[in-house]
Copies of this chain bind each other. A is one copy, B any other.
Amino acid sequence: MARARQFDREAALDLAMNEFWQKGYSAVSVKSLCEQLGITRSSFYHSFGSLDALFEEAMGLYLRYNPMLELENPKLTAVQAIRRCFKVLCKLRAKDKQHRGCLIINNLNEGYAMPVKTAKSLQAKIDNSINALEATVERGKVEGLISPAQNSRALALCLQSLATGINTLSMQVHSEEELWGIADTTLSGLGF
């Protein structure tokens, strides 16, 4: 059998995720990551392939804690699920002492620095979110809690816009009450 890895790959991925989150893709270099990890670039390229491959892995890890997953919660009605989803989001952002906002949204404007494939995969995450919201609105119509006269796509865009706004504002507005105030007021106004 071959020589074993001398460093903790999970811990390295975790650190990388945090770097991309805080500083953004184009401010993260292979060199600086390796220095923080105490490994050589040689080890890095062997384990991760490239910086953008690592970035994709980091996005994957990040999305394991995605508040939008609440939308699939089978115990909740569509409207409850949407409200819960925003509640969880506000709690999560307020709890973050580093006020990092959202990794995905923070990196949307770094497209030029990435391989095209990576930039597209990033944008696809937003599309997925919009689609999940739209599906939940549709579910709300079936459940009779949302008027079928409403345009589901348009409502989903309102919700995605709200999520984006809260994520970004959370970098400067740190109080959970204020963040939830935004969500609650806007959701109520939209009929949720």
Chain A interface residues toward B at CB < 8 A = 22-24, 26-27, 101, 105-110, 112-113, 123, 126-127, 151, 154-155, 157-158, 160-166, 168-169, 171-173, 178, 181-182, 185-186, 188-191
Contact = CB atoms under 8 A, between A and B. Distances in A.
B158 A185 contact: yes
Nearest to A157: B182
A contact face: mostly helix, strand, loop, or mixed:
helix
B178 A157 contact: yes
B178 A169 contact: no
B154 A178 contact: yes
A154 B185 CA distance: 9
A27 to B, nearest CB: 4
Given A23-B26, A157-B178, 18 more contacts: A22-B109, A23-B110, A24-B110, A24-B113, A27-B113, A109-B171, A126-B172, A154-B185, A157-B182, A158-B186, A161-B162, A161-B165, A161-B182, A163-B165, A164-B168, A165-B165, A186-B186, A189-B190
A135 to B, nearest CB: 18
Most buried by B among A106, A165, A172, A186: A165
A94 to B, nearest CB: 13
Contacts of A22: 109, 112
